[in-house]
Amino acid sequence: MNALTAPMPQSYLAKETAELLRIGIQPTLGDEDYAEIEDILSRRGVDLTALRAQREQYAKLLAHGVDKARAGLYRRAMAALIDTIGIAVILAVSALVITVFMPTLFKQTNRVLVILLFTYLLLKDGFSGQSLGKHIMHIRVVDAQTEQPCNLPQSLLRNLMVLTMIDWIFLLGRSQLRMGDMLAKTKVVRVM
């Protein structure tokens, strides 16, 4: 029996795709393990480019002594502050321009701006897992199982909970997960 027809090790073959993706980004596996995992994933139709890039990034983080498992509370708070200030500035400038150039439309336009604000706040992490503040602070929201960037439905679910103050209390817990992270099955990690 040659290498192409040899059966795959049952330990990897039996695992779900999400579990294989999580294992496959670990930079501590041997070359044979990477080859086996990548072979199984490619047979399942998974693009291996993102997996390899995340493994490389994870190895860099480990080399710098950074635990990718969690972004710190400070970075998360600063990212939220940057997002809040950024949105406030954009809204203030927009309101000023509308007031000066179109004073009769201010009430209607003001409502649209508020709708746009809430849309941004709810969906901000759904584009590559980073809002403006998270990008500046080098953190990203990822799926807790696959480590893939947060998608739009996950962003909506996790950020709906931000509207409640109870959500932020959960950050002070041991796992440093907000209630929104728990519901959306996401976590916030550091990136280079």
Q: What confidence tier does 172 reach under pLDDT thresholds 50, 70, 90?
A: low
pTM above threshold 0.75? no
Residue whose pair of structure tokens reads 């190895």 in the numeric block: 59
pLDDT of residue 5: 41
pLDDT of residue 176: 67
Give residue 167's identity as a one-letter amino acid code: D
- Summarize pLDDT for 18-76 with one digit per residue, the tens: 888 878 877 777 888 888 888 888 888 888 888 888 778 777 666 654 445 567 788 88
Locate the DSSP E strands across the chain. Answer: 139-143, 186-190
What angle, 0 to 180 degrees and rounded to 10, lies between the N-to-C axes of helices 152-160 and 106-123? 110
Name the percent of the chain lying above pLDDT 90.
9
pLDDT of residue 80: 87
Higher pLDDT, 136 or 29: 136
C-alpha separations of 164 from 10, 145, 189 in Å = 45, 25, 23
pLDDT of residue 27: 72
Q: Which residues contact 14 (CB under 8 A, 6 or more apart)?
A: none
Give residue 192's identity as a one-letter amino acid code: M
The alpha-helical segments, DSSP class H, found in 15-72 are 17-24, 31-43, 48-63
Q: What confidence tier does 133 reach under pLDDT thresholds 50, 70, 90?
A: very high
27 within 8 A of 55, measured Cβ to Cβ: yes
| CA of residue 106 relative to chain centroid, distance | 36
Euclidean distance between CA atoms 4 and 136, whole angstroms: 46
